[in-house]
Amino acid sequence: MKQTILVLEQHILEQQRAHPCASGEFSWLLSAITLATRVISAHVRRAGLVDILGETGATNVQGEMVQKLDVIANDTIATCLGYRDNVGIMVSEEDDEPRILKEPDDRAKYIVLFDPLDGSSNIDVNVSIGTIFSILQRRDDAGAGKVMDHILQPGYRQIAAGYVIYSSSTVMAYTTGYGVHMFTLDPSIGAFRLVREHVTMPTSGKTYSVNEAYSRQFPKGIQDYLDWVKTDKAGGYGLRYIGSLVADFHRTLLHGGVFLYPPTLKAPKGKLRLLYEANPLAFIAEQAGGSATDGKQRILDKIPTSLHERTSLIIGSKDEVERVLSFWRA
Ligand code: AHG
Ligand code: MN
Ligand code: MN
């Protein structure tokens, strides 16, 4: 039997044909991201063999220790995107300031925001890590020279978002607002091959994912939910927490359940970053039939006020997110 091989670039082109609003330029931009993630994946696969494990000794703008792979991933994405003349601004979790590649009067209309390496604390111990990206378009109504007006847009304005997980295999999931599609990197040909189109998240699921060590710092309603899942009435929940958002989200997307990173005493606004973590994953979750909230409002409706803004995040199966909220609001 002849097997069809559909690779990511081809898939993007076909999406473009089905949705003529997607331009060829956009495909060109996405291909820079896939190229970068293939390079990062190759580094990750050789991590123990070359000197790329461990900390650099520097601290980033988030106050976190920078790992060597954080730097490699950040540089790789910046280099690959830098060659695409339609990318105007790049914003990375690892950079203090946005990188302005082209001035607004150029045709460089896209803004790419990314977490180059998610799950840094898991790098050295061979646990899944990832890359997350979000794509916006420059606003027509922003004032000249007002870079932040272009960047600080709510998540519902994203035109694409995705992530790559470097795990037992390297998988990419992306959306442009027409469903979520998933690809596996085939190392023998160096291409992401389509494995699932229109991925849907189960509407419910009895897996909760949270760093429960912080539970005493969580709001009372979240503590009540965490007590409830352990009761007989709840009917047998399981806990899974990897500590790499991409990996915890990927499992939740495929198997259902809920991921929570509520506010804590240490991080009263939550720990995760709105622009490079919560927004892109919220877009994917919604496109797959799930939902994402900060406890008060839909993540995608939040108006960002600063580049490295943090947020609390409850994301996953629609019914389970709703259940968490019912405890939190009570
Ligand atoms: P990053 O490595 O990009 O800084 O992100 C780490 C994040 C996220 O991946 C994960 O969900 C969370 O940190 C884990 O935090 P805790 O160790 O506090 O549970
Ligand atoms: Mn991260
Ligand atoms: Mn990171």
- Residue 1 has a pLDDT of 52
**pTM, rounded to two decimals:** 0.95
- Residue 20 has a pLDDT of 64
With 0-12 / 13-18 / 19 or more C-beta atoms within 10 angstroms meaning exposed / middle / buried, residue 217 is middle
Measured by CA distance, the residue closest to atom 16 of ligand 1 is 243
- Residue 311 has a pLDDT of 98
Dist. CA 256–CA 50, nearest whole Å: 37
- Residue 37 has a pLDDT of 95
Task: Pinpoint the residues of the chain covered by CATH 3.40.190.80.
Answer: 207-328
- Residue 233 has a pLDDT of 97
Q: For domain 8-196, is the CATH number 3.20.20.60?
A: no
- Residue 145 has a pLDDT of 65
Q: By three-state DSSP, how is residue 7 classified? A: strand
Per DSSP, helices labelled H in the chain are 8-18, 24-45, 68-82, 147-151, 220-228, 245-255, 279-287, 318-329
Instruction: Indicate whether residue 115 lines ligand 1 (CB < 6 A).
Output: yes
Which ligand has the nearest atom to the CA of 249?
1
With 0-12 / 13-18 / 19 or more C-beta atoms within 10 angstroms meaning exposed / middle / buried, residue 25 is middle
Q: Assess contact for 108 and 146: CB atoms under 8 A.
A: no
Which ligand has the nearest atom to the CA of 123?
1
Q: For domain 207-328, is the CATH number 3.40.190.80?
A: yes
Measured by CA distance, the residue closest to atom 6 of ligand 1 is 119
- Residue 21 has a pLDDT of 62
- Residue indicated by tokens 């760093």: 211
Task: Pinpoint the residues of the chain covered by CATH 3.30.540.10.
Answer: 8-196
Q: Which of 245, 252, 269, 315 best tests ligand 1's pocket when mutated (most atoms within 8 Å of CB)? A: 245
- Residue 292 has a pLDDT of 98
Q: Kindly report the backbone phi and psi dihedral angles of residue 292, in degrees, each rounded to the nearest multiple of 5, phi listed first.
A: -150, 130
Strands (E), 269-330: 272-273, 291-293, 310-311, 313-316
Cα of 42 vs its chain's centroid, Å? 20
Q: Assess contact for 324 and 314: CB atoms under 8 A.
A: yes
Instruction: Indicate whether residue 118 lines ligand 1 (CB < 6 A).
Output: yes
257: which 2 tokens? 């359940």
Which ligand has the nearest atom to the CA of 64?
1
- Residue 53 has a pLDDT of 82
CB-CB neighbours of 297 under 10 Å: 10
Per-residue pLDDT of the chain (330 residues; tens, 9 = 90+): 556 789 988 888 888 777 766 667 778 888 899 999 999 999 988 877 777 788 888 888 888 888 889 999 999 999 999 888 889 999 999 999 999 988 766 778 899 999 999 998 898 899 999 999 999 998 877 766 688 999 999 999 999 999 999 999 999 999 999 999 999 999 999 999 999 999 999 999 999 999 999 999 999 999 999 999 999 999 999 999 999 999 999 999 999 999 999 999 999 999 999 999 999 999 999 999 999 999 999 999 999 999 999 999 999 999 999 999 999 988
- Residue 3 has a pLDDT of 67
With 0-12 / 13-18 / 19 or more C-beta atoms within 10 angstroms meaning exposed / middle / buried, residue 42 is middle
Dist. CA 113–CA 17, nearest whole Å: 26
Q: Which helix (H) or strand (E) holds 36?
A: helix 24-45
Dist. CA 147–CA 98, nearest whole Å: 9
Q: Which helix (H) or strand (E) holds 209?
A: strand 207-209
- Residue 23 has a pLDDT of 67
Q: How many helices (H) and strands (E) does the chain have?
A: 8, 17
**Taking the chain, what is the end-to-end CA distance rounded to the nearest angstrom?**
57
Gap from CA of 85 to ligand 2 centroid (Å) = 27
